[in-house]
A and B are shown apart, each in its own frame.
Chain A
Amino acid sequence: MRLTRRERLILYVPFVLLVSGWLIVPAVIGLVATLTNYAPTELAVRWVGLQNFARILGDRSFAAAIRNVLVVTLVGVPLQLAIGFGLAFVLRRPFRGRTLARVLLLVPWLISPVASGVMWHFVLAGETSLPNFALGWMGASPQPSPLGQHGLALATVVLVETWRVAPLVAFLLLPGLMSIPHQRWEDATVDGLGSIGAARHVALPAIIPLVLAISILLIGGALATFDSVLTMTGGGPGSETVTPALYSYEKAFTVSDWPVGAASGWLIGAAVLVVGLAYVRLARWASS
C-alpha cells in the first residue's frame, strides 16, 4: 500500500506542529536560554556560557538529588519490572474473576502520583496509619511514619512508586504474554519445565522488545520523579528525598532562580536522551 508524498505530509503536519510547538521548540529555546542569564523578568540578557550548569553542579542539594534519583531509578525500575512481570505471568491464563482482578490491580495506576503522595502520607502517619492499625492488632507498638525518618524515607518513596507503577507494567506486558502461541507453553510443559522455566525460556525471550519499550518509559518516569515526593515528603527529611525535578521546580518557581531551574530541568532531559539512544540501539538489535 503506497501513499503519495503529499498525502504522507498531510498526515504528519498536525502531529509535527503539536509536538514541535509544545515540546521540541520550548526544549531547544530552553537549552539556548540556559547558556544566558535569561529569565522572564531579566531586561539585559547576556551570554554566560556554562555558568548556570557550573552553579548547579556545585550545589550540594543537587548532588543529593542526583544520588536520590539514581536510587529511585536503579532500584525502583528493576523492582517494578520484576513485580509487573510476575503479575502478568500469573494473569496470562483466563480464570474465574480475572477481569475483576485486572480492574482492581489497575487501581494504583489510576491514582495520580500527587494523590498517591497525599494518600500515603496519611496512610503511613500517626493517628491515621494503616500499618500501625495492623501492628496494634499484632500487639506491637505504633511506629512513626517512615517518610519522616532518616534512612527510611527514600526507600519508602521507592516502594510507593513501585506500588503505583508495577500494576501498569503488568497491564502493558499482558498482551505480549497472551500473544505467545499456546503451543509454546504446551511444549514447555512436555519438556518438563516448571512455571519458572516457562517464564524464563518461553515468556521472556518473546517479550524482550516489549520489556525494553516499557523500561524506557519507566526510566523516563523515574528520572522525572516529582509529583509524589512533592506531596509525600516535600523532599525531606533534610534533602533525603529531593529529586532533580523537585530541585528544578523549586529553583524556578519558589526562589525565582529561573536560569538554574531551566538548566537543571534540561539535565534531566539530557539524561533521558542518553538512555534513549541506548534504547534505540537495543530496540533495533532486539527486533533484528
Chain B
Amino acid sequence: MGVIVTTRWTAQRRRARAIRGLVVLVAIVVAIAPVVWTVMAAIGILPNENTRPPTLIVALTADHLAEVSVAEPTFWQELATSLLVSAGAALLAGTVSMLAAYGLARRPGRTQARVVPGLLVLASLPVMAYVIPLSDLMRRVGLVDTLPGLILAEAAVTAPLAVYVFYAYLVGVSTEAEEAARLEGAGLAALLRRVVLPTAAPIAAATVIVLFVLDWNLLLTPLVLTGIDVRTLPVVLTDFFTLERELDWPTAAAALTISLVPVLALVGLLIRLLDRFSLGGGVEGVAS
C-alpha cells in the first residue's frame, strides 16, 4: 500500500517537474529569441528569406560594430556619458533614499501607513506629467544639457521607489544593535555608519544596481533635458532610428547589442546579490 502511494507520489512529482521544465524553457526561448536574432545580425548572421525554406547567411564580421561609430561618430563618448549619468544618479538616489527611509522607519506612530504607499504612487508618476515644465525650469537656472542637471533629474525619477524598498527592509530589521549604540552615545552619523549601513549593505547594493538599470534605460528625461553636449544611449537610439531615416538593420542591431552589454554584465555577475532586492515580501512586509 505504502509503496503504491509512494510510486504515485513520485510519478506526480516527476510530471510536475517536467511541466515546470517545459514552462521555463518556453519562457526563456520567448524572452531571448528576438535578442539572439539581434545579436546574430550584429555579428553578420542574417536571414535570406528568398530561398525556400529560408536560410541564414553567415558572414561573421565586426564591421557592423565598427559602423556604429561611423553612423554616430560620438557613440563611444555617449556610452561613457550613459555610464556616468546612470552611476551618478543611482548612487545619489540610493544615498538620499537610504537616509529618508531610515528616518521614516524609526519614526514613532503609524503615519507611515499613509506616507509609504504614497511613495509608490510618486514612483509610478509618469515623467511626462512634469518633464515639460521641468525642462523650462532647468533652462532658466542653466542646468539644461549639463551632467549635474541630468543626474539630479534622473535621481529624482527613481528616488521614491528606492525609499519604498529601503523602508520595507529597515522596518523589519531588529533595532537592538541601534539601541545599544545609542546608549553608548552614538550620534546619527556614527549610528548610520557603524550599525545601519554594514547590515544594509547588500540590499543597498542590490537597489543601486536596479536603479542603475532603470536610469540606463530612461529616455524621456534625457531626451527633453539635454540636447547637444550630454547625450545618453537611449536618446542616440531614437536618432539612429527615426521613421524617416531608417538605418540598416545590422548597424542598428550592433548599437542595440553594445547598449545591452553593460547592464547584462552587471546583472549576470551580480544576480545573487540582486536577490536582496524586494518590494517587501508578503503580508508581513510593508506598513505592518
Contact = CB atoms under 8 A, between A and B. Distances in A.
Interface stretch (A56-64, A149-157, A171-179): A171-179
B35 A119 contact: yes
Given A1-B175, A21-B156, A123-B38, A265 B132 contact: yes
- B contact face: mostly helix, strand, loop, or mixed: helix
A3 B107 contact: yes
A122 B125 contact: no
B47 A133 contact: yes
B22 to A, nearest CB: 9
B156 A18 contact: yes
Given A40-B136, A226-B219, A231 B238 contact: yes
A183 interface: no
A180 B282 contact: yes
A44 interface: no
Given A115-B256, A220-B125, A287-B286, A18 B130 contact: no
Contacts, number: 332
B128 A248 contact: yes
Interface in B3-40: 16-17, 20-21, 23-24, 27-28, 30-35, 37-38
Contacts of B27: 87, 105, 167
A102 interface: yes
Interface residues of B, number: 111
Interface residues of A, number: 113
Nearest to A111: B260
B129 A27 contact: yes
Nearest to B139: A40
Given A101-B24, A103-B271, A261-B132, A130 B178 contact: no
A219 B121 CA distance: 10
A30 B133 contact: yes
A206 B284 CA distance: 9
Contacts of A175: 275, 277-279, 281
Given A90-B24, A130-B37, A284-B113, A119 B118 contact: no
A136 B52 contact: yes
A213 interface: yes
A252 interface: yes
A284 to B, nearest CB: 6
Nearest to B56: A133
B286 to A, nearest CB: 6
Contact of A33 (B93, B133, B182, B252): B133
A122 B133 contact: no
Among A86, A120, A121, A139, find the residue whose CB has the most chain B CB atoms closer than 10 A. A121
A231 B241 contact: yes
A10 B188 contact: yes
Contacts of B220: 226-227, 245, 249
A27 B134 CA distance: 8
B106 A1 contact: yes
Interface in A227-269: 227, 230-231, 234, 244-245, 248-249, 252-253, 258, 261-262, 265-266, 268-269
B124 interface: yes
Interface in B123-171: 123-134, 136-137, 139, 152-153, 155-157, 159-161, 163-164
B83 interface: no
Among A23, A207, A273, A286, find the residue whose CB has the most chain B CB atoms closer than 10 A. A23
Given A122-B41, A127-B49, A210-B285, 14 more contacts: A8-B107, A14-B96, A103-B268, A107-B264, A118-B240, A123-B34, A130-B47, A172-B278, A176-B281, A213-B120, A227-B219, A231-B237, A249-B220, A265-B128
17 contacts: A22-B134, A27-B133, A40-B139, A103-B267, A111-B217, A114-B237, A118-B237, A167-B31, A205-B283, A219-B124, A226-B128, A231-B238, A234-B243, A244-B128, A268-B128, A270-B129, A276-B125
Q: What 3 A-B pairs come out closest when comparing CB atoms?
A: A269-B129, A220-B124, A276-B121
